[in-house]
Amino acid sequence: MIEELRLRNFEGFRDEKITFTRGLNLITGRNSVGKTTILDAIVYTLFGNVPSVENRLLVRREKGVRGMETYLRFRSPVNGSRVEIMRFAELRRNRFATKEVRLIIDRREVQVEGLEDLRRRITRLIGIGYRAFNWIIYSRQGRLNEILEPRREDMDAILQITLLREISEQLNIVIRDLRGTESEYKLMKTQLIPLREERVKELQREVDELNKELEDLKSSLRLGEDPAVKRLIGKARELEEAKAMLLEAINSKRSILARYGLKDLESVRRESGRLAEMLRDLEVDLKSVEEEVGMLREREAKIFGELKILEDGHKARLELKMKGVAKCPTCGQRIDEKILSSIIEDEELRIADLKERLIDVRRRKQELESKLESINREISEITRRRERLNMLMNSISEYDTRIAEKEKIVKSIRLDVEGILRRLGLDLDPDDPKLYERLTQMFQAPGEIEEKRKRVEILEGRLRERLGELGRERAELEKLKTRLKELEKRSRVMSFASNLRERIIDFIKKRRDELLRSIALRAQAIFTSLTDQRIYTSFRIDPENYRVYVKPRGLSDYIPASRVGGGHQTLISLSLRLAIIHHLGVRSLIILDEPTYGVDEENLQTLLNQLSRIARYVDQAIIITHHGRGIEEASNIIEVYRDSAGYSRIRAGF
């Protein structure tokens, strides 16, 4: 329970003393006069920090002011001790620095080793840490209802203060000694031994490579003056040249085939056969089209003759009609004008029909004549292509003969080279395209023999070094493997500890579920005692995310508490905080900064009256309000105001 707070040059306060009593302490006053500063001063004096506020901003901003002092006296809810805390701080080049801290318990000063030591001691004396204090005990303005949808890590930290935290600490004690073993075991198994084994393998590979290179060099030195070597080099040169000539012939053949889009002689024959077949089909088509063209020409002549005769007669009858002659000039018979007109009309229809037929015949004849031209062109093109293919087949046959000859030469020389290599014991590939170059470098380079001798000396020295290092690495590897066997025994113990830890974690989860059910039941009971309304039948806290739900009377399901009215949200949030405080065993204090924030004027007085009942659950409640409406049950009223000089001042009243 807080008894007294003194402030000197703390934000707007110049030099003030504030007295608190048991029960309800009401801090009232207009906006921006320093009400919340009092609460910040309590938190700062207890823990040395204020959430979301830089410490340098706590020093009163006035010319000449460079330091501040705070003093707080309270009764420990843990052991009942009378505790006094004093903090002295100053600004040095606009940087905040703590000059001195003092802790007095039951009138005896206690030596503290720095700010962290002081914070730990205060946490033990009040039974709650900085994080939990600022989350549960002290509700800042506008944040009272955050407990309805809290952050999981905040609630986890708070719940670990009780038995859950003790179980977790015991678990850490159980695995603490094994943790170093586990780390060493994992390091040994996953890094040290694999790295050492890899190093041994690497050294062994290097030793093997050195031995092989040495053997090759010594063998090369022995062969350096062998007469067979000179013959081998000559044959290797011949083989290289023969292969080049063979490759040239093969590439020439491929180039000719590629020019025609073909692969080999057989594909040329198939293409020639295909073109012959196409030629036969085209000749059949040509004959058929020529016959049809001849028929169309005959039909054209016949239609044209009929049309000429008909047009001549028609012309004569038109002249008779225009002259109005009543008799036929040819036969002398009398001509009826209507009959003449009918004959003329009939002739016109026949003339039109013949002309249309003549056009169709000529169009079809023209199409077929064009087709004849196309077929003739295609026949000519295919004939020319067949002639080229025939020439190509002759050329390919010549190349095949030449290639066969070159292959025979290459095979013969290769057999000679292979035999000499075998006799000399040289592990070289006769088909290696760089064989001649390798042999020349091995046996004919100037100063090669002397250079190889020097190289042998260097390699032998390096081999001795690597063999020594390999022996040491193998010895170290055996030591590591021996140590690993020892660690494996302890690893089995660690496995048992891990299984035990999992079971304990499961127990903690079950315990947390039970704890949340208990807190929800107590919160509902507290809520019921704060109001005469029986709106909710039960509370529930989701163990996964700590979100709070309420079940309204008459509904079959829960709804989020964050969705109920503002006044009810405030009471539910307060009930939860009181229930958690009861669970934490720190039922001595609760601090509320504007708990009616966001509540409409109509419900404000009712809510204030309900808040006055919290004295039933805590020894001391400190509440800030700026509404000017006192709470009748308040045991101490602290009025904050600004004097004419702009300083925050205190006026106490009961």
Q: Which tens digit of pLDDT belongs to each residue from 632-651?
A: 667 899 999 999 988 999 98
562 contact partners, CB below 8 Å, separation of at least 6:
145, 148, 149, 547, 548, 569
Residue 293 has a pLDDT of 86
Q: Give the whole-angstrom CA distance, residue 380 versus residue 385.
A: 9
The token duo for 279 is 């030629």
Tens-place pLDDT, residues 247-279: 888 888 778 777 767 667 677 777 778 888 888
**Residue type at 611 in one-letter notation:** L
For residue 29, the 8-state DSSP code is -
Q: Mean pLDDT, the chain, as a whole number?
A: 82
Q: Using pLDDT thresholds of 50, 70 and 90, give the confidence band for residue 240.
A: confident
Options 1.10.287.510, 3.40.50.300, 2.20.25.90, 1.10.3720.10; CATH for 231-424 is 1.10.287.510
Q: What percent of the chain shows pLDDT beyond 90?
A: 19
Q: Using pLDDT thresholds of 50, 70 and 90, give the confidence band for residue 87.
A: very high
Extended strands (E) in 331-475: none
Stretch 602-606: mean pLDDT = 60
The token duo for 163 is 């038995």
Whether the pLDDT of residue 299 is over 80: the answer is: yes
Within a 13 Å sphere around the CA of 77, how many CA atoms are in the beta-carbon half? 19
Whether the pLDDT of residue 375 is over 90: the answer is: no
Options 3.20.20.80, 3.40.50.300, 3.40.720.10, 3.30.60.50; CATH for 2-150+567-653 is 3.40.50.300
Edge to edge, what strands does the sheet with 108-110 contain? 108-110, 95-105, 82-92, 67-75, 2-10, 13-19, 648-653, 636-642, 23-28, 620-625, 589-593, 138-139
Stretch 102-130: mean pLDDT = 93
**Segments making up each domain of the chain, as ranges:** 2-150+567-653, 231-424
Residue 599 has a pLDDT of 59
Stretch 183-203: mean pLDDT = 80
Residue 650 has a pLDDT of 93
* Neighbouring C-beta atoms of residue 173, cutoff 10 Å: 9
* Neighbouring C-beta atoms of residue 434, cutoff 10 Å: 12
Tens-place pLDDT, residues 65-78: 889 999 999 999 98
Residue 318 has a pLDDT of 84
Q: What percent of the chain shows pLDDT beyond 70?
A: 86
Parallel, antiparallel or unpaired: strands 589-593 and 648-653: unpaired
Whether the pLDDT of residue 494 is over 80: the answer is: no
